[in-house]
Amino acid sequence: MGNHRAHRGPRRSTSAAPVVAVPVVGKRRATAPARRSPLLRSLPSAPILLGVTALAISAGGAVTASDADLAGQVTSGSTSIAAAGTMGIAQVAPTTSRDAVVSRDSRRDAQADAANQELIEAAEAQAKEQHAALEQFAQAAEKQSAKIRENQWVLPLASYRISATFGASSYLWSSVHTGLDMSAPSGTAIRAIANGVITETGYDGSYGNKTVLTLEDGTELWFCHQTSIDVSVGDTVRGGEVIGTVGSTGNSTGPHLHLEVRPGGGDPVDPFTALLEHGVTP
């Protein structure tokens, strides 16, 4: 047999290829942070404490010597002293701003109280004026009421029967009836209807015995056909006062009072209406 070399593949190198380290671009290897003591970690840094101290002093509070020492010791890392220094700094907080606010509030309160007092005084003065005006009004009303009561008309007879009215026509009268006839027994008292002065008395033809009472406003009241006349000219009488008695003198068919009302002494008006206007119902 001839020599025959078996076909073999390429031979591998038994020696390992060199490893080349490829740097990673853009990344840095993190380094472990330095460990701080737990106590120091809770404290601010010394520059910060010194800055706070300076600000506190410039804001209006003076740091005491012990506080300044405490702040200086904070820089050395003493936890307890730093805490004490921090408390000292808090104690020097300025108070001028608070005082100013309190002062402004006090002034506002004083001004508000003064304004309220002025309003109260003005209201009280106005109430007094109104009360005085009401009193004057009440007094005037009372005077007027007293005057009305004083001049209140009254019925001339206590008991009667109307037998003829104003404006009626009959053969008994030469013209229409000029008054109000109130029949009553002979001798019945006749009373003045209102306050006034007696201006006429005596016999007057068809009117018989007549009394004329003139009121303050000039109105004349005629009382006719009387049996007797109990007053004289010039007498001042008041409403309700007796001035005579019922009769049948003159042009009369029986005892009665013929009443006439003549405003201003002029022409007669309806006595029934005049009595109603003065609060008297015939």
**Contact criterion met (CB below 8 Å) for 88 and 64:** yes
What does the alpha-carbon distance between residue 257 and residue 246 come to, in Å, rounded to a whole number?
6
218: phi then psi, degrees, rounded to nearest 5 = 95, -5
What does the alpha-carbon distance between residue 198 and residue 214 come to, in Å, rounded to a whole number?
6
269 Cβ contact partners less than 8 Å away, ≥ 6 residues apart = 166, 261, 262, 263
3-state secondary structure of 271: helix
Residue 33 buriedness (CB in 10 A; 0-12 / 13-18 / 19+): exposed
DSSP code per residue over 157-222:
-SS-EEEE-TT---TTSSSS--SEEEE--TT-EEE-SSSEEEEEEEE-GGG-EEEEEE-TTS-EEE
pLDDT at 63: 41
pLDDT at 167: 82
pLDDT at 6: 45
3-state secondary structure of 240: coil
pLDDT at 150: 73
219 Cβ contact partners less than 8 Å away, ≥ 6 residues apart = 261, 262, 263, 264, 265
Q: Identify residue 74 by its one-letter amino acid code.
A: V
The one-character DSSP state at 263 is G
pLDDT at 232: 98
Pairing between β-strand 242-246 and β-strand 256-262 as defined by DSSP bridges: unpaired
User: From the CB of residue 177, how many other CB atoms can be counted at a distance below 10 Å?
Assistant: 18
pLDDT at 53: 55
Contacts of 81-85 spanning 24+ positions with Cβ under 8 A: 82/43, 82/49, 85/49, 85/53
pLDDT tens sequence for the chain (282 residues): 444 444 444 454 444 445 444 444 444 554 545 555 554 455 555 555 555 555 555 545 444 444 445 444 444 444 444 444 444 444 545 555 666 666 777 888 888 888 898 899 999 999 999 999 998 889 888 887 777 777 789 999 999 999 999 987 666 656 788 999 999 999 999 999 999 999 999 999 999 999 999 999 999 999 999 999 999 999 999 999 999 999 999 999 999 999 999 999 999 999 999 999 999 998
221: phi then psi, degrees, rounded to nearest 5 = -115, 120
| Joined tokens for residue 207 | 């009117």
